[in-house]
Amino acid sequence: MSVPQLSFKGHTVVITGAGGGLGRSYSLLFASRGANVVVNDINSEAAQKVVDQIINAGGKAVKNTSSVTDGAALVNSALDAFGGVTILINNAGILRDKGFKKMTDKEWDEITEVHLKGAFACTKAAWPHFRKQKFGRILNTASAAGLYGNFGQANYAAAKMALVGFTKTLAIEGVKYGIKATVISPIAASPMSETIMSAEMLANLQPTLVAPFVLAVCHPDGVDATGKAFEVGGGFVAEIRWERSKGTVFKTDSSFTPSAVKAKWYEVGDFSGADHPKSLSDADTQGKLKLAATLPPNAPSFPQVRFDDKTVIVTGAGAGLGRAYAQMYGKLGANVVVNDISKNGAISVVDEIVKAGGKAVAAICSAEDGEAIVKTALETFNGVHVLIANAGILRDKSFQAMTEQEWDIVVAIHLRAPYKCAKAVWPIFQEQKFGRIVTICSQVAIYGNFGQANYAAAKAGVIGFTRTLAIEGKKYNIIANCIAPSAGTALTSTIWSQAMVDAFKPDFVAPVVGYLTCAGKDGPRLAIHCVSAYCLCEKTTSTPRAPCLRFPVAGPRRPGGSALGGYSFPAKVSYTPEDVVAKWSSITDFSDGRTTHPSTTAEALEQIVANFGSGGDAKAML
């Protein structure tokens, strides 16, 4: 397939973190194809070297040394120097790796500030220009750590996975205005990766083996990759997609308990006959409704799941899902710490539990005050064993109208609060060699949703965070799981019809949470569990409406298309953007039976490493 050369003449590209590594490679290649380039880096000397290299080669570039959180300054550099902006590459990054127990708030905040808030700020500044000119390209930079979790990178995994949910929502909102957004998980030698990679890996993972793909997805006549995620490195390129397990169905009557979930859990992770939903609406709702009507009562497992002598913290427990979780744990013998910022809500739930014969105490404070919540548990019940990080808020607004404050508060409550609560219980869990954590993501995080860029980002971040907790906790019998529930609550009542709110009872989610936190050594390991009124799956599921529950499990999946999956360009010969266009069908082909299913960062690297040594003599890209 012959593809005309992709020229970027007349385009202006803003590239963050462009003083070295991937950002430098992007800058040089865009400039060589005629683009005006704004080279951003807080290292002024490094940025200037890239600018000088571009100008000396006959290109056009200017330096910008602003923090990425000052997106307006970056975009103004483009406007002042070149009169416009058409492409934004959110590439800047830092590392603050640390085991979770030793990680400080500063190390968490610095990572989310640069990787997540920076991407928001720069995109927010470019967005009105993209809308006005009916054209824009955004490329965000995720990581395998975000997709799969990685030891010592809870902060990094959270921020990087957040960019996946953010990108998917930008893609949805940008359709009307010719704005396309793509997210990549690149693996390449850089000042960041030099601290964690071997010399052999660094030698084979040159940034020049990522840059051509970036140009191909950013060109007006390039490939259509909007809303999609890709792994790129060492000449290997593959699309990533979600896969939803077959799951199982439960009748939601009084027989629907954690013990009933335990009895059929083996069906939840069954990926034979799995599907691959692409949006919130992808589900056979009517078919599941018919099946739900035929179900008998659920059979329990024995011994039944109980929480006697265990203390459970539930954040945001004054209403909705949190209230349902708290009430369930109270009935099953647990000591329950009911956290909520609403004094009336928290005390009301405590009273309900106590009147039913249970034990509970209120912790009235923000879910970000994890230490205070844990202190209440220790002072009242002398211990803590389970954390349900459930608290949440909505500040829905189109991205164009969304304010910085609306972004910040949603990220704080949905992402930073789970971090703070998990951080407070972690040393206790480690010392007693037992702990269970359930965090709450959302189907919006997996698919994106109009008007919820902040929520999608924060909830996606929870996935990367939880995956890392599961990895770090394994040695200490700390099990972490993440669920994507659908339920009629105070949050969803603002966007759902009353009929949907009535159908999606929080009580139909609680039994799954109960099983995920049970004490058995054969308890469930990490997955993303989609839970709704009739459906539970390992992955993600769409909006349900029946008095039954189907549970599927989800995880990232990569395509086939060649012997290795995806497409492998020769690792020692620099491929071109035109090569990407020519091989696009192979890169995105999931139908040839060679799809791979990595579940760890190491597994994700296997195909990339297998491509080392392929091709002929290396040649410079420029």
In DSSP terms, which residues pair with 337 in a beta bridge?
Answer: 313, 361
Q: What are phi and psi of 553, to 5 degrees?
A: -115, 145
Residue 455 is a catalytic residue: yes
* Radius of gyration of the CA atoms of the chain, in A: 24
Q: Around Cβ 76, how many Cβ atoms within 10 Å?
A: 16
In Å, what is the CA distance from 21 to each residue of 71, 234, 444, 525, 543?
Answer: 21, 14, 32, 36, 42
Residue 447 is a catalytic residue: no
Helix (H) / strand (E) element for 500: namely helix 498-503
Helix (H) / strand (E) element for 64: namely strand 60-64
Strand pairing class (229-233; 386-389)? unpaired
The angle that helices 417-432 and 154-174 make with each other, rounded to 10 degrees, is 150
Task: Give the C-alpha separation, 145 to 114, whole Å.
Answer: 16
Task: Give the C-alpha separation, 549 to 322, whole Å.
Answer: 18
To the nearest 10°, the Cα dihedral for 259, 261, 267, 269?
-120
- Closest by CA to 107, choosing from 470, 416, 427, 437, is 416
Q: 39: which DSSP letter?
A: E
Instruction: Pick the catalytic residue from 26, 148, 156, 419.
Output: 156
Quote the tokens at residue 385: 């064993």
CA 578 to chain centre: 30
Quote the tokens at residue 595: 């799809």
Residue 160 is a catalytic residue: yes
Task: Give the C-alpha separation, 381 to 362, whole Å.
Answer: 12
Helix (H) / strand (E) element for 436: namely strand 435-440
Q: 479: which DSSP letter?
A: E
CA 233 to chain centre: 20
Residue with tokens 């997805």: 217
In DSSP terms, which residues pair with 361 in a beta bridge?
Answer: 337
Cβ neighbors of 459 (< 8 A, separation 6 or more) are: 165, 414, 415, 440, 441, 442, 444, 445, 484
Helix (H) / strand (E) element for 295: namely none
Q: Around Cβ 505, how many Cβ atoms within 10 Å?
A: 17
Contact 354, 327 (CB under 8 A): no
Cβ neighbors of 237 (< 8 A, separation 6 or more) are: 213, 230, 231, 566, 567, 568, 569, 580, 583, 587
Task: Give the C-alpha separation, 562 to 67, whole Å.
Answer: 41
In DSSP terms, which residues pair with 466 in a beta bridge?
Answer: none
- Residue 291's Cβ-count burial label (10 Å; 0-12, 13-18, 19+) is middle
CA 16 to chain centre: 21
Instruction: Pick the catalytic residue from 160, 180, 251, 539.
Output: 160
Quote the tokens at residue 208: 């020049």
Q: Tell me which amino acid residue 87 is.
A: I
Task: Give the C-alpha separation, 396 to 414, whole Å.
Answer: 14
Instruction: Pick the catalytic residue from 26, 148, 419, 455.
Output: 455
Residues designated as active site:
156, 160, 455
